[in-house]
Structure 1
Amino acid sequence: MPNPITAETLLQAYASGVFPMAESREGDELFWVDPHFRGIFELDNFHISRSLARHIQQEPFQIRTNTAFMPVVHGCADRSETWINAKLLELYEQLHLMGFAHSLEVWEGNELVGGVYGLVIGGAFFGESMFSRRTNASKIALAYLVHRLRSGGFTLFDTQFITPHLASLGAIEISRDDYRARLETALTLEADFNRFTGTPDAYSVIQRKTQTS
């Protein structure tokens, strides 16, 4: 009988460069993914378009961290097809309680309208998933997350795969060897997701924007 996957198993897997997925919400089994090409954000090259910058400056939402971790995970899984099954929900909750998993949330009043969550080991942030129920909510979440990661001393923001949405914000693909070299360096660092307290002002978030559209 195979050994059960635990929260500690997940931490070891991420530190080795692999991550888990399920075939579907109903699937019982998890499998390990080790892509030939990995999506990442280089933190100094996150792109904020002029239109997105204007939206951020309007401050339409409230940004919070770790006040609704599991609702964010459930929001990410709330779609017709998802790789997040019951076992992963349980494991992510355990990792959150252990201090390794974090959420950045987008609120409109008392309503959670977007967010992103991921795991932290050393100076690496392993982005898992995000969701949006308002225009630009997920983009704004990523912009604030990148600011927090830079402020906390992180050097690696792993997005696992790359999508057109992520590419529009500056995500790139790198080889497995390149990824593992960056991961090895990041794991030696003592970054802190909570080093930046409070919510940064909009100007601080957009000051490194590189797009002009």
Structure 2
Amino acid sequence: MHFLTKDLYFPPVDEASYEGILAVGGDLSTDRLLLAYRNGIFPWFNPDEPILWWSPPERMVVAPQLYKVSKSIRNLLNQKKFDITFNQSFEEVIRNCQQIVRKDQDGTWITDDIIDSYTKLHEMGFAQSVEVWQNGELVGGLYGVDLGHVFCGESMFSKVSNASKIAFVTLVQYLKDNNYKLLDCQIHNDHLEKLGAFEISRETFIKVLKS
């Protein structure tokens, strides 16, 4: 495992541990974050831990060009219960992702420093959000880092049933319409698998990222 200094540097991703931890330390500057994402690396750590940088051996992704919206979600979209916007309330989305209570999860990895750094990325045009509204209230959404051909999803939240699914499917459709190659979902979980994500090797992911 590599220990980072103030130098803007990451080791090769194939030097990550079996679990996928590549490096420890450094900072959350926008330059370091962009260098990380462009090389298939992301930060993920608990508030009481040093910054951990990950590049797992298997990557959870969605291929927008192959994605099929489920009948149930299509019916939800057709009911027009929700209003959907892009990049209208980025900071409100990321703060909701920080504060939402999640099943089987104690606390959050989205620290105030994470919020500050990703909000700066948003102001620079690199971090994007999808907002889902109901009766004028923000009830769901997601955010991530946009690399132009790969969108790196970070977190999503839902205050009412299906709101985060609507945000997710709306993002995938946007990525499909704009010829993105992948939606990066980082690490496997059952919810993402049910939404249509699947795992590919780190090597395959990096090839797409660098293409």
For normalisation by structure 2, the TM-score amounts to 0.82
Is 2:51 aligned against 1:48?
no
Is 2:47 aligned against 1:21?
no
Which of 161, 168, 172 matches 1:146? 172
**1:53-88 CA distance string (max 9 Å, x none):** 211110100000111001100111113521111211
Paired with 1:168 and 1:59, the residues of 2 have a C-alpha distance of: 22
**1:141-172 CA distance string (max 9 Å, x none):** 11111111112221121000122111112100
Structure 1 equivalent of residue 9 of structure 2: none
Q: Work out whether residues 17 and 34 of structure 1, in 8 Å CA contact, stay in contact via their aligned partners in 2.
A: yes
- The count of aligned residue pairs is 183
**One-letter amino acid of the structure 1 residue matched with residue 41 of structure 2:** V
Unmatched 5+ stretches in structure 1:
186-213
State, as a whole percentage, how many aligned pairs show the same letter. Answer: 38
For normalisation by structure 1, the TM-score amounts to 0.81
Q: Work out whether residues 81 and 134 of structure 2, in 8 Å CA contact, stay in contact via their aligned partners in 1.
A: yes
**One-letter amino acid of the structure 1 residue matched with residue 80 of structure 2:** E
Which of 62, 82, 92 matches 2:118? 92
**1:86-133 CA distance string (max 9 Å, x none):** 211111011000000000000012210000100111311000000011
Shift in Å at residue 39 of structure 1?
A: 0.4
**1:162-201 CA distance string (max 9 Å, x none):** 221111121000111111111111xxxxxxxxxxxxxxxx
Structure 2 equivalent of residue 164 of structure 1: 190
SS at the partner of 2:44? strand
Instruction: Report the RMSD for the aligned CA atoms in angstroms.
Output: 1.5
Q: Work out whether residues 47 and 169 of structure 1, in 8 Å CA contact, stay in contact via their aligned partners in 2.
A: no
Structure 2 equivalent of residue 35 of structure 1: 56
Paired with 2:149 and 2:66, the residues of 1 have a C-alpha distance of: 17
